[in-house]
Amino acid sequence: MLDFVLNFLIHGITHASWVVKLVYFLVVTQLTIFAVTLYLHRCQAHRGVDFHPVLAHFFRFWSWISTGMVTREWVAVHRKHHAKCESAEDPHSPLVFGINTVLWQGVDLYRVAAGKPDDMEKYGRGTPQDWLERQVYGAHPYAGPTLMFLVNIALFGVWGVAISALQMVWIPFWAAGVVNGLGHWWGYRNFETSDMSTNLTPWGFFIGGEELHNNHHAFPSSSKFALRKFEFDIGWALIRGFEAIGMAKVLRVAPSLDIRPNVPLPDTETIKALLSHRFQVMTDYFKGVIVPTLREEAAQAGARVKALPRALRRALANGGRWLDGAAHTRMLEAIKQRPLLSRVCEFRARLAAVLERGNGSSEAMLANLQEWCREAEASGIQTLQAFAVRLRGYALVPVRA
């Protein structure tokens, strides 16, 4: 009897090799990542995709048994993050809490945010509230991981304890820590969004496509996160696979931009494109107007004007929104010393103001945009003139792939 117990504790019922244990661990953790990114994030939080009820329930069940996550809580915390991004009310902003806190204690920040009933009611609407959710998943969130713990021990003996511990750490670290932390602190940006979101890598394999975090913040409701030709989103690949067998229905994908030739002035099609792609427009302005202006003035000034530090150059893309007081003052002083740069930065600020007033009268926005284009084309600044010509021809091209 003692030999049987010892043998069970050491090997479990599977007597699996370390290779099998490793494969098992990778499979179950990857399933959890897919449950988070596909179901909790893209389906429930942003309504970008619907899944067949059987598949949706599997994802909901797996989220519960592997981590104890409650759908309503996860969705509410994430929606509040988008609504209050980088502000004092953001549940997990590195700007507010610091990168080390979000990276290593992200799960604690999540628990604090999930413990606010008013936020759960406000931001958690539309999530499942059936009998299973009320009586099992939501009522007993810790029962899921406990059941998984017992299953792992039964399969692998004492090794199951280690596997369960790593499972419980894996998702909080990568989802709550890396995506919410590093994804607002380090990486590259395709879009000058009104937050600090970044893409960690152009190839979203490891965290289900969540690596493309800046793309997601630019188009939150899009079920596809890869928005450049060189980017890959494994989550989107799975969605298309499920769609092919009738298990998923794509509801929203970010539209692409088209440039119409020979458009004399911005029109209603331009306005629709700008409202959808306002972050792309400001990114285009930075790359197409401000960056060439910096190069031109540097070439003309030579050693007479000190080059702008890299941080200040990058801050010109968003008007210095995230600089502290001293750095913002240095940026303004540097702009004053460069007349041409000062002029194009002034036009950038005016364009940003037009786009930010997009929720008002479309007629007023159109009139302001037309005036902006006329003045830009009359400025005598070649890059600004070319941008204005391009801008007035913007139009939307709805896409699904």
The per-residue pLDDT for range 308-334, each reduced to its tens digit, is 888 888 999 999 988 988 999 999 998
Look up the domain containing 8 and give its range.
2-250
Residue 376: predicted pLDDT: 97
Same domain for 288 and 361?
yes
How many domains, in total, are found in the chain?
2
Same domain for 30 and 118?
yes
Residue type, 123: Y
Residue keyed to tokens 């209050």: 84
Higher per-residue confidence, 11 vs 187: 187
Same domain for 241 and 158?
yes
Domain boundary among 250, 284, 314: 250
What's the pLDDT tens digit per position in 220-234?
999 999 999 999 999
Residue 8: predicted pLDDT: 66
Domain boundary among 250, 282, 317: 250
Same domain for 101 and 160?
yes
Give the list of residues 6+ apart from residue 350 with CB closer than 8 angstroms, or none. 372
Structure tokens at 396: 């939307």
Q: Count of alpha carbons within 13 Å of 47, Cβ hemisphere only? A: 5
Q: Is the pLDDT of residue 160 over 70?
A: yes
Same domain for 72 and 55?
yes
Residue 103: predicted pLDDT: 85
Same domain for 127 and 263?
no
Q: What percent of the chain has pLDDT over 90?
A: 74
Same domain for 218 and 362?
no
Same domain for 200 and 86?
yes
CA 351 to chain centre: 24
Same domain for 226 and 85?
yes
Same domain for 86 and 218?
yes
Q: What is the DSSP string of 351-400?
A: HHHHHHTTTS-HHHHHHHHHHHHHHHHTS--HHHHHHHHHHHTEEEE---
Kindly list the distances between the CA atom of residue 309 and the CA atoms of 293, 318, 334, in Å, as whole numbers in the listed order: 15, 16, 10
β-strands 232-233, 248-250 pairing:
unpaired
49: alpha, beta or left, given left = phi > 0 and alpha = psi -120 to 50? Answer: beta
Residue type, 61: F
Beta bridge partners of 259: 394
Q: Give helix 339-356 / helix 382-392 axis angle, nearest 10°.
A: 20
Q: What is the pTM of this model?
A: 0.90
Same domain for 31 and 138?
yes
| pLDDT range class, residue 11, cuts 50, 70, 90 | confident
Residue 144: predicted pLDDT: 95
Kind plus residue range of the DSSP H or E element containing 50:
strand 49-51
Beta bridge partners of 203: 232
Residue keyed to tokens 């139009």: 395
Q: Is the pLDDT of residue 401 over 50?
A: no
